[in-house]
Amino acid sequence: MRKFLAGALLVLLTACGTLRPTAVPERPERGAIAAFSIEGRLSLRQGERPYAAHIAWRHDPASDEIFITGPLGQGIAELSRNAGGAKLVTADRKTTTAADWTALAEELLGVPLPLSGMAHWIAGEASASAWDDLGRPLKAQEAGWNIDYLDYEVARPDALPVLVELRRDDIEVRIRIDEWLLNPD
């Protein structure tokens, strides 16, 4: 019975991961997206060390709030950024602060993750070097990072990315976006 339940759960989770939205609202031009919220999944691999989590991210030009939770919904970390700097609060309430996103990532991981540019990259606003047949970015390179847009919401020119991969040296970051909510200026 346990094997059956485990198999059924695996099938259900796999099916949920491949569902596509049937109706996506018209989207503004990528450059007009100033504020957004996303829900999704994040995987990070540095060398042989993999990490996976759920991500909820609220972004606007003045601030960011990122909530990272484990597979069962337990809080792992809360990251925030505003004019005063960047901050990480972990599940055990330890706080780390830095002047900005890049300095925070470097202090914590020893690696300058592209957090400052990532809001633009996620929306497909990177300087693309390759486009698909609908004019959407497929590949870009910025700040030493290779950015691949592996999937989009729907087959429309204004669709937003739902699977983005960032690579630099031995670091790979993959973000699967399950839900976009836009608040363009």
- State pLDDT tens for residues 109-134: 776 676 778 899 999 998 899 999 99
Residue 146 resides in a domain: yes
Mean pLDDT of 130-140: 96
pLDDT average, residue stretch 83-98 = 93
Write out the residue range of the structural domain in which residue 131 sits: 39-182
The tally of domains found in the chain comes to 1
Q: Which residue has the higher pLDDT, 49 or 137?
A: 137
Token pair, residue 34, equals 């100033």
Q: Please check whether residue 130 lies inside any domain of the structure.
A: yes
pTM for the full predicted model? 0.81
- Would the pLDDT of 185 be above 80? no
Q: Which residue has the higher pLDDT, 7 or 175?
A: 175
Q: Which residues have a Cβ under 8 Å from the Cβ of 36 and sit 6 or more positions away?
A: 57, 58, 59, 119, 123, 180, 181, 182, 183
Residue 173 falls inside a structural domain = yes
Containing 56, the helix (H) or strand (E) segment is strand 49-60
- Whether residue 131 is contained in a domain is answered as yes
Q: What is the CATH number of the domain that holds 109?
A: 2.50.20.10
pLDDT of residue 175: 96
Q: Is residue 86 part of a domain?
A: yes
Does 34 reside within a domain? no
Residue 81 inside a domain? The answer is yes
Confidence at residue 22, expressed as pLDDT on a 0 to 100 scale: 57
Question: Phi/psi class of residue 65: alpha, beta or left (left: φ > 0; alpha: ψ in -120 to 50)?
Answer: beta
Average pLDDT, the chain: 85
On whether residue 18 sits in a domain, the answer given is no
